[in-house]
Amino acid sequence: NKLRECGELLMFQLGFDSEAFGLVFTSDYKTKVLAGEEGKGTRTTVEKFLEKVLPSCTDLSFSKDKMLKVFLFTDSEITQLVKSGVLTVREAGSWWLSIPNSGKFTKYFIQGRKAVLGMVRKSKYGEVLQADLEERRTTSQVKFPMRYHVHDIVGAELVESIPTTSGTLLRFVDS
């Protein structure tokens, strides 16, 4: 929270789950956004957003009122920010802070999570040793390494992690 409050870290709502959030360093975010805006007509608006909004950004979303009155953006500038991927529509008159072109990552992340959870669920008794799971071959849908998805499902508490003499056992959690 200290890093967020002093503006070094930005927090994002990941679109697939209301309780899933992503964190990125502000400096990395600015670099990525500006690199994507190279030679585009929306660059000035995006730079204005990065200079005015990001330093004071502790919120995950922005209302139309705040964008117009506090940060002094016009409707057309807000539209440009949405088109450039810096903002994504939350609901009418409200936007989430967004990472441009992150849709592909989110898609692969969800596919991988589902595939790995399916492997655990379909194993005998809904349990599998973590080492055995990490050695398994994945389908072509899974773009990230198996270890990445195993850490994800353990961290998201979608599986129970049980230490045994044979290694860590992962048990599917019915929700």
- Enclosing domain of residue 133: 103-172
Which of 49, 68, 97 terminates a domain? The answer is 97
On whether both 138 and 155 belong to a single domain, the answer is: yes
Residues 37 and 84 in one domain: yes
Whole-number Å distance between alpha carbons of 47 and 45 = 5
Q: Are residues 19 and 79 in the same domain?
A: yes
* Structural contact between residues 64 and 94, judged by C-beta atoms closer than 8 angstroms: yes
Residues 66 and 108 in one domain: no
pLDDT in tens, 113-127: 999 999 999 999 999
Per-residue pLDDT, 149? 94
What ranges make up the beta strands (E) of the chain? 9-13, 21-25, 61-63, 87-91, 94-97, 127-129, 159-164, 167-172
pLDDT in tens, 13-41: 876 667 778 888 988 989 988 888 888 88
Check whether residue 80 and residue 116 sit in a common domain: no
For residues 12 and 88, state if they share a domain.
Answer: yes
Tell me, yes or no, whether 89 and 107 share the same domain.
no
Number of domains in the chain: 2
| Domain's final residue, options 46, 65, 97 | 97
Residue type at 37?
A: E
Largest CA distance in the chain: 62
pLDDT confidence band for 62 (50 / 70 / 90): confident
Shared-domain flag, residues 92 and 110: no
